[in-house]
Amino acid sequence: MAGSKQRVFVPQDTTARSLGADAVADAILSEAAARNVEIELVRNGSLGLYWLEPFVEVEIDGVRHAFGPVTPGDVPGLFDAQWLEGSAHALGHGRSAEIEWLASQRRLTFARVGIVDPLSLEDYRAHGGLVGLERAAAMDGGEIVEEVTNSGLRGRGGAAFPTGIKWNTVLKAEGAQKYVVCNADEGDSGTFADRMIMESDPFVLIEGMAIAGLAVGATQGYVYIRCEYPQAIRTMRAAIQTAREAGVLGPDVLGSGRAFELDVREAAGAYICGEETSLLESLEGKRGMVRYRPPLPAIKGLFGAPTIVNNVISLASVPIILAKGAEYYKDFGTGRSRGTLTIQLAGNVRRGGLVEVPFGLTLRELLEDYGGGTASGRPIRAVQAGGPLGAYVHPDQFDTPLDYEAFAKIGAMLGHGGIVVFDDTVDMAAMARFAMEFCALESCGKCTPCRIGAVRGVEVIDRIVSGENSDANLVLLRELCDTMVAGSLCALGGMAPFPVLSVLNHYPEDLRARP
């Protein structure tokens, strides 16, 4: 360590800060100054062990040692206990990389998240960044698309569509101008993986989008980020500026002779704009009304031009596929679900956070081994998987493996990987009602089943619960759900009934007249 200051890491991620990481960082700096101890404080991203945030790490001989959750009041005691020398402390967890919760994961897409300084391009390079883009810069578009296709990567936004096939359509489409659009309108409750990438490893998204641009001949990209993520917006804008200055973006991407520019666009609080055609309308400066398809966005997308629309995690998975090859990525996973899955454990859970594992772990293993049960200590009664349009999964179904097909088989979905845990105090009728209420609030209004159906859904559930013709209204609710599923234009109206149907099927005791 001679010659350099000892490094202490305090995450700048939104969740860490929401639990007081900034005050902890200040306390560490002032305590170190008061004791004449020289340290270098690094504001890294979060490793996603959110149950231990604020999660502070001390680097000793190149190895990081973890402490958490740390409050400002703990800081003098940590110095007293010689934490910088690695002495034992009640808040200590030993070497970060050896914490079982983390060590048992397989971090591919999140390899650098929580490790690097988010805005340091040198750090990014030192941890394997830009290798994929350098390789892509020497390949032609068809070769890049083939590599992504062979990896088996499927869209991580929710629909799980094969990414390579989408790219190939854009590659083959005629158009003087093509676009790459990143859907960073991460609106599903229980999800934060996109936010973590943007706040903690923004360059991986920039690299993934640049590779996409080179692959299909698109020269302009947009990251459409929800306005509820102010820090992600700031970090992405700063990282794009750095990438531009370093020639990663611009008229000559890494000396390839090919251009790719990238800009951030702020969303404005409409959940429907996570639907890709609605997102494109919004990017064009319009109301986020869902478009009819065909034509597919890959053929006629942004401003009528061929457009790749991919989720953050999908695009952030591309650099490692190009860097290490399709086979490397494909070797992880099971069946048609290849690679790793980024699960976000949320809600009433004891150990919530980011879990990146190969597909195939069961839901029960996830909830018990990683989650450690509920935060409240009460039994788990339900789990909502895949966001507000995803079914509630009953404990009887917890042995289902985490892969797209297995979840589809039980009428549920993994979607973007959000897993929200509820304990036994949950009122499932209220959750069913909320699904309809949310759909009514967020419907773009273009199609009748969604616009009117969701409003009627709330009313019918209210009648059931208040005892007004409950039996007849239960039949009506099912019929209404069928109509919305079959008749809606997009996934909002088409899937909002899924949580409702799961309550009807698995929690009928809640959805009935209340005494």
- CB nearer to another protein: pick between 59 and 188: 188
Enumerate binding residues for another protein (CB under 8 A): 14-15, 17-19, 50-51, 53, 186-192, 194-195, 227-231, 265-271, 282-288, 303, 344-349, 352-353, 375, 384, 388, 418, 420-423, 426, 431, 434, 438, 442, 444
Identify the residue whose tokens are 């993986």. Answer: 193
- CB nearer to another protein: pick between 17 and 64: 17
Q: Cα–Cα–Cα angle for 44, 48, 54, nearest 5°?
A: 65
- CB nearer to another protein: pick between 286 and 336: 286
CB 423 within 8 A of CB 381: yes
- CB nearer to another protein: pick between 146 and 228: 228
**3-state SS of 431-498?**
HHHHHHHHHHHHCCCCCHHHHHHHHHHHHHHHHHHHCCCHHHHHHHHHHHHHHHHHHCCCHHHHHCHH
- CB nearer to another protein: pick between 121 and 436: 436
Q: Minimum CB separation from another protein for residue 32, in Å?
A: 25
- CB nearer to another protein: pick between 388 and 449: 388
- CB nearer to another protein: pick between 35 and 287: 287
Q: Minimum CB separation from another protein for residue 194, in Å?
A: 8
Q: Minimum CB separation from another protein for residue 344, in Å?
A: 7
**Cα 55 versus chain centre, distance:** 20
User: Which two structure tokens, joined as six digits, stand for 130?
Assistant: 């830009």
Q: Minimum CB separation from another protein for residue 33, in Å?
A: 25
Q: Minimum CB separation from another protein for residue 184, in Å?
A: 11
Alpha carbon separation from 473 to 434, 455, 469, 476, 507 (Å, rounded): 17, 15, 6, 5, 16
- CB nearer to another protein: pick between 49 and 321: 49
What's the alpha-carbon Rg for the chain, to the nearest Å? 24
Q: Minimum CB separation from another protein for residue 280, in Å?
A: 9
Task: Give CA–CA dist 291/169, Å, rounded.
Answer: 19
Neighbours of 375 (CB within 10 A): 16
Task: Give CA–CA dist 452/442, Å, rounded.
Answer: 12
Q: Minimum CB separation from another protein for residue 105, in Å?
A: 15
Per DSSP, 379 falls in state: P
CB 359 within 8 A of CB 337: yes
Q: Minimum CB separation from another protein for residue 231, in Å?
A: 8
CB 483 within 8 A of CB 500: no
- CB nearer to another protein: pick between 247 and 379: 379
Task: Give CA–CA dist 184/263, Å, rounded.
Answer: 13
Q: Minimum CB separation from another protein for residue 3, in Å?
A: 38
Q: Minimum CB separation from another protein for residue 430, in Å?
A: 8
- CB nearer to another protein: pick between 152 and 190: 190
Helix (H) or strand (E) segment spanning residue 152 = none
Closest alpha carbon to 120 in 238, 234, 247: 238
Closest alpha carbon to 297 in 289, 285, 309: 309
**182: amino acid identity, one letter:** C
Closest alpha carbon to 188 in 265, 271, 270: 271
- CB nearer to another protein: pick between 208 and 371: 371
φ, ψ at 497 (rounded to 5°): -70, -15
Q: Minimum CB separation from another protein for residue 211, in Å?
A: 23
